[in-house]
Amino acid sequence: MSIADKENRIYPWGHKRRFNAYSNYFRSIYGARVQKVSIDAGFTCPNRDGSRGYGGCTYCNNDAFNPSYCLSEKPVSRQIEEGIEFHKRRYSEAVSYLAYFQAFSNTYASLDILKKLYEEALSYPGVAGLIIGTRPDCIDDEKLAYLRKLSERYYIAIEYGIESCYNKTLIRINRGHTFEDAVSALERTAKLGINTGAHFIFGLPGETRGEMLDQAYIISRLPLKTVKFHQLQIIRGTAMEKEFKDNPSDFELFGWEEYLEFFIKFLERLNPSIVVERFTGEAPPRFLTSERWGKKRTDQIVNLIEKRLEELDTWQGRLYEDKS
Ligand code: SF4
């Protein structure tokens, strides 16, 4: 195949990028750039308040991932207004926005409270839908039925924190739910036609690199529309920080070069129909105790991964086998 043929190859997701990219996915729906605007609506988490567990997941410090304009004391509409201003300064071309209920567990309240918060967001001009981050054990049929109804008029996605496909890991990081809980939540959500997302972390203690890679096959079989991946970072003030200091040999954190090669192998095995939103995470340096990957921004990381895919002439799903 000539270089020109390779450059002009259209992949199963309908464009020339070598992975099923989130930004292109929304462009295909809305015909323009869509921007997520984060919201902290003041939820808490059942893994912190005792209804599922205490102390939370060992790696979690929500402050490390909350944008500065997100403060739970501010009303939802004010956070959206400030979020839109914040993003407009960076990317002037966004025309539609998705309200991203991000901090803690955003279905962990009565349906009446959820309706008020979600509908306040949806009534803001330019907001085309909701992305709702939550735990797999924090959803029920009543809430799903309401979200299904909303999904007739808006883009609605529930993004579940799953983190690992292995129960031994979920126990170790004190998630307070099993992988089977996650599969059940995804299946019930997808069955109603609501978009499903999931979040996974690579590098969690107790998992081998081979086990991490094998998750590509497990994740590929889940009813998922979108997915986010992060490398493990050790965040200040977490239980994991103490664990890391006490037993550093228990952890095998990814350096950038190793992660790049690992992630390419992972992508090659991932179902091409799953839209990939993130390859890595980046907590602000003041929260980090583990080593940073230089000063690479998210967009630079995406470029480096795409460049490596091109060098190897490979792409998402090249080694995926549909065994369904
Ligand atoms: S990661 Fe999510 S589920 Fe775990 S403690 Fe933090 S907010 Fe709760």
Please list the pLDDT of the chain residue by residue as tens digits (324 residues).
Answer: 777 777 789 999 999 999 999 999 999 998 888 999 999 999 999 999 889 888 899 999 866 656 666 677 899 999 999 999 988 877 666 678 999 999 999 999 999 999 999 999 999 999 999 999 999 999 999 999 999 999 999 999 999 999 999 999 999 999 999 999 999 999 999 999 999 999 999 999 999 999 999 999 999 999 999 999 999 999 998 999 999 999 999 999 999 999 999 999 999 999 999 999 999 987 777 777 766 777 778 889 999 999 999 999 999 999 998 766
pTM here is 0.94
Pocket lined around ligand 1, Cβ cut-off 6 Å = 45, 47-48, 56-57, 60, 62, 104-105, 135, 161
Of 76, 188, 196, 180, whose CA–CA distance to 134 is shortest? Answer: 196
CA 197 / ligand 1 centre spacing (Å)? 16
Give the span between the Cα atoms of 218 and 267, in whole angstroms: 13
What pLDDT shows up at residue 2?
Answer: 79
CA 135 / ligand 1 centre spacing (Å)? 8
CA 103 / ligand 1 centre spacing (Å)? 9
Mutational pocket test of ligand 1: of 72, 104, 138, the residue with most ligand atoms within 8 Å of the beta carbon: 104
CA 162 / ligand 1 centre spacing (Å)? 10
CA 238 / ligand 1 centre spacing (Å)? 11
CA 60 / ligand 1 centre spacing (Å)? 6
Q: Whose CA is nearest to atom 2 of ligand 1?
A: 104
Atom number in ligand 1 closest to CA 56: 5
Q: How far apart are the first and last CA of the chain?
A: 31
- Whether 239 and 55 have beta carbons less than 8 Å apart is answered as yes
Mutational pocket test of ligand 1: of 40, 51, 57, 177, the residue with most ligand atoms within 8 Å of the beta carbon: 57
Of 220, 214, 297, 307, whose CA–CA distance to 260 is shortest? Answer: 307
CA 161 / ligand 1 centre spacing (Å)? 8
Atom number in ligand 1 closest to CA 45: 8
Q: Whose CA is nearest to atom 1 of ligand 1?
A: 60
What pLDDT shows up at residue 292?
Answer: 72
255: amino acid identity, one letter: G
Residue 216 phi/psi, 5° resolution? -60, -40
What pLDDT shows up at residue 261?
Answer: 97
Q: Whose CA is nearest to atom 6 of ligand 1?
A: 60
Q: Where are the alpha helices (DSSP H) in the chain?
A: 3-7, 22-30, 76-90, 111-122, 141-150, 167-172, 179-191, 209-220, 239-246, 256-269, 298-311
What pLDDT shows up at residue 224?
Answer: 98
What pLDDT shows up at residue 290?
Answer: 67
Contacts of 302 (CB under 8 A, 6+ apart): 279
